[in-house]
Amino acid sequence: MSSIQKIQRQSGRRYKAVLKSGSRVLKTKTFTKEALAKQWLKRLQMDAEAMDALGLKGARMTLNELVTAYKAQYRGCDASIKGKLAHWCAALGEHYLVDITTQRVREHLAQYKEGAALRPNGSRNKDSLKLINTGKARKPATVNRMRSALSALFKYANQQGWVNQNPVRNIPALPRLNCLQ
C-alpha cells in the first residue's frame, strides 16, 4: 500500500511519496506539490503492473492474436460477434494486450458512440450485402454491445493466464434510453 505524507519544513510544506510492497518500503521521493507525488506513485504502480505482465504470455500478444484464439474456441450463438471482433481488430488490433488500458478503451468507446449508426442494405445475397449510414447517432445499447465484446475477449485472456486484469471492467455500461418515449 502506497502513501503520501505531509512534511512541514522551514522552506514550506513538502509531500513525501512512499511506494510499498506489503510492509516493505520500495522507494520514496519528496515533492513540492501533492499532485506531483500522486502522479509519481501512480506511474510507478503502473510500471510495476506492466513488469508483472511481462512475465505473462499476453505481454507480447497483440489483440489480433487474442481474437484469433478466441474465435477458435468460441461456441456461442451470437452471429454478430465476428463484426464486433473485426471492429476491435481494426481499432486496437496491433496493440499488445498490456498496452490496452482502461483509458484507451474509454476514449475509443467515446469516439465510437459519436459515430453514425449503420444498417444492412437489405440484400439476402452475402456478396452484395453492404452497410448503409443511417445518419443517426449510435444508441447506448450498441455501444454497450461493443464494450461487452471486448470485455469477453479480455475475460478469456484472463482465464488463459495471458493478462492479469480486464481493462474494460472499470468502464460502466451506458444507461439505456427509455424505449417508451
User: 156 near 70, Cβ under 8 Å?
Assistant: yes
* Nine cell digits for residue 3: 502513501
CA dist., res. 62 & res. 46, Å (int): 19
How many folded domains does the chain comprise?
A: 2
If asked whether residues 76 and 151 sit together in one domain, one would say: yes
If asked whether residues 154 and 85 sit together in one domain, one would say: yes
If asked whether residues 19 and 101 sit together in one domain, one would say: no
Domain closes at, from 54, 75, 94? 54
User: 30 near 16, Cβ under 8 Å?
Assistant: yes
Give the mean pLDDT of 70-74: 92
- As a whole number, the mean pLDDT across the chain is 85
CA dist., res. 103 & res. 48, Å (int): 18
What one-character DSSP code corresponds to residue 96? B
Q: What are phi and psi of 8, to 5 degrees?
A: -95, 120
What one-character DSSP code corresponds to residue 57? G
Within a domain: residue 119?
A: yes
* Nine cell digits for residue 93: 488490433
In this model, does residue 51 exceed pLDDT 70? no
Q: What is the pLDDT of residue 56?
A: 72
The upper half-sphere exposure of residue 150, i.e. CA atoms within 13 Å in the direction of its Cβ, equals: 30
If asked whether residues 90 and 143 sit together in one domain, one would say: yes
Give the mean pLDDT of 32-57: 79
If asked whether residues 82 and 28 sit together in one domain, one would say: no
More confident residue, 123 or 169: 169
If asked whether residues 82 and 147 sit together in one domain, one would say: yes
Instruction: With cut-offs at 50, 70 and 90, classify the pLDDT of residue 106.
Output: very high
Within a domain: residue 46?
A: yes
Instruction: With cut-offs at 50, 70 and 90, classify the pLDDT of residue 135.
Output: confident
Domain holding 31, by residue range, is 3-54
Least confident of 11-20, 155-164, 172-181: 172-181
User: 138 near 113, Cβ under 8 Å?
Assistant: yes
CA dist., res. 5 & res. 19, Å (int): 11
- pTM to 2 decimal places: 0.65
